[in-house]
Amino acid sequence: MSETKRLDSLPGCGYKIWQDDKEFSFTTDAVFLSAFPHLVKNARVLELGCGTGAVSLLLAAAGAGNVLGVDSNAHVVELFAESINDNNLTAKVEARHIDIRELKSQEVSESFDLVVANPPYRIGGRRRIVGTAACHETDTTLEDFFQVAAYMVKYRGRFALVQLPERFTEAVSLGHKYDLELKKLQWVHSFVDKPAWIFLGEFVKGGGPGLEVLPPLIMYNNDGSYTAGTLKAYGLTSGKETPHE
């Protein structure tokens, strides 16, 4: 086994997840995203840019009927597939190595109830050494994610994503372009007096006007302990426990 490969725990569900220090590991963003969207009974779910599969595994634990996670990074897909096998989820969850833009050749349009994505956040700026493609738009763009989501999700189905506040208006504009109406929004802050550092958005294909803005999700109390919202997302019961950040 690689010296950088490790087995971690996923919060609130008892599943294990294989990760590698040489790749981008799941963070708070993935946990908050998996707890955010509406999940219909036995939903068929697609995760675009799944990485090691944290969101896919968490949605499977939350009750999704079938989950497909896709990524263009062969190594993280291998790790995800190993996690699926070790958690006995081969009948429910699939990991596939493919560029999201090639999905049209393999999947029927409008065949998923929910599409989720934690797309690369940044267009420019200083690039991370680890997980460059996961964090920066080196090839796939935010528009690619919207275009593929619109093609794959059912009419009245949902597309949920997490992104930086600076790209909020871009996301809304892309939603309009691809008939994905923003219907639910939540801003996420580290502390109550700090600016939002990400937002969670749920778009509905063919949805009409009207937006539900949830109360802000604050990660920490003033004393540094975790808020009730954070604990709920992580399936924890006390602020003394430590979420994976």
The two structure tokens encoding residue 96: 């596939």
The pLDDT tens digits for 185-197 are 999 999 999 999 9
The pLDDT value recorded for residue 136 is: 40
The pLDDT tens digits for 51-67 are 999 999 999 999 999 99
Give the chain's residues under pLDDT 50: 125-128, 130-137, 239-241, 245
User: Would residue 240 count as lying in a domain?
Assistant: no
CATH of the domain at 111: 3.40.50.150
User: Would residue 75 count as lying in a domain?
Assistant: yes
The pLDDT tens digits for 58-101 are 999 999 999 999 999 999 999 999 999 999 999 999 999 999 99
Distance between CA atoms of residues 242 and 173, nearest Å = 37
The pLDDT value recorded for residue 12 is: 86
User: Would residue 241 count as lying in a domain?
Assistant: no
The pLDDT value recorded for residue 134 is: 44
User: Would residue 242 count as lying in a domain?
Assistant: no
Q: Model's pTM, two decimal places? A: 0.89
Look up the domain containing 180 and give its range: 5-234
The pLDDT value recorded for residue 208 is: 95
User: Would residue 137 count as lying in a domain?
Assistant: yes
Distance between CA atoms of residues 71 and 186, nearest Å = 26
Looking at the chain, list the stretches that DSSP marks H as alpha helix, in order from N- to C-terminal side.
Answer: 28-35, 54-62, 74-86, 132-135, 142-152, 168-177, 228-234
User: Would residue 239 count as lying in a domain?
Assistant: no
Residue 122: CB atoms within 10 A of its CB come to 14
User: Would residue 155 count as lying in a domain?
Assistant: yes
**Total domains in the fold of the chain:** 1
Range 176-212 burial, b when 16+ CB lie within 10 A, else e:
eebebbbbbbbbbbeeeeeebebbbbbbbbebeeeee
Task: Name the residue among 88, 109, 77 with its Cα closest to residue 16.
Answer: 88
According to DSSP, the residues that pair with 30 across neighbouring strands are none
The pLDDT value recorded for residue 131 is: 42
